[in-house]
Amino acid sequence: GAGVSQSPSNKVTEKGKDVELRCDPISGHTALYWYRQSLGQGLEFLIYFQGNSAPDKSGLPSDRFSAERTGGSVSTLTIQRTQQEDSAVYLCASSWGTANQPQHFGDGTRLSIL
């Protein structure tokens, strides 16, 4: 079956522009996660959606970052007024949302801020 899909796979933009990153989770998965991974580093948690509950936004690094999940499915991560330090790979994952379930990852969006 289809896995987690992220688009675009690569995005190059100028400093100060806004960007939108999209994640299509696996159908039926109620939990959706966004992470940021800098080159050669581990994953930094950004935000977590679970069903209709209020999202856990505790990992968002600044108010320039926001995310929404429409209809409990597709999610969009928006970064406003991008800075060079926002350059990273943004990974999305989804899971069934119940206890002891693995996360399924997309291949990420590689964001480069010039």
The least CB distance from residue 98 to another protein, in Å, is 9
- Among the listed ranges 11-19, 41-49, 66-74, 79-87, the one in contact with another protein (CB under 8 A) is 41-49
- For residue 111, state whether it binds another protein (rule: CB under 8 A): no
The least CB distance from residue 46 to another protein, in Å, is 9
**Residue carrying the six token digits 């996360």:** 103
- For residue 52, state whether it binds another protein (rule: CB under 8 A): no
Toward another protein, which CB reaches closer, 81 or 104? 104
Instruction: Report d(CA 63, CA 82) in Å as an integer.
Output: 11
Helix and strand element counts for the chain (H, E)? 0, 10
Find out whether 86 and 34 touch, Cβ atoms under 8 Å.
no
**CA dihedral over 67, 70, 76, 81, signed as positive or negative:** negative
- For residue 106, state whether it binds another protein (rule: CB under 8 A): yes
Coil/strand/helix, residue 110: strand
Site for another protein, rule CB under 8 A: 4, 33, 35, 40-43, 45, 48, 56, 58-59, 91, 93, 99-100, 102-108
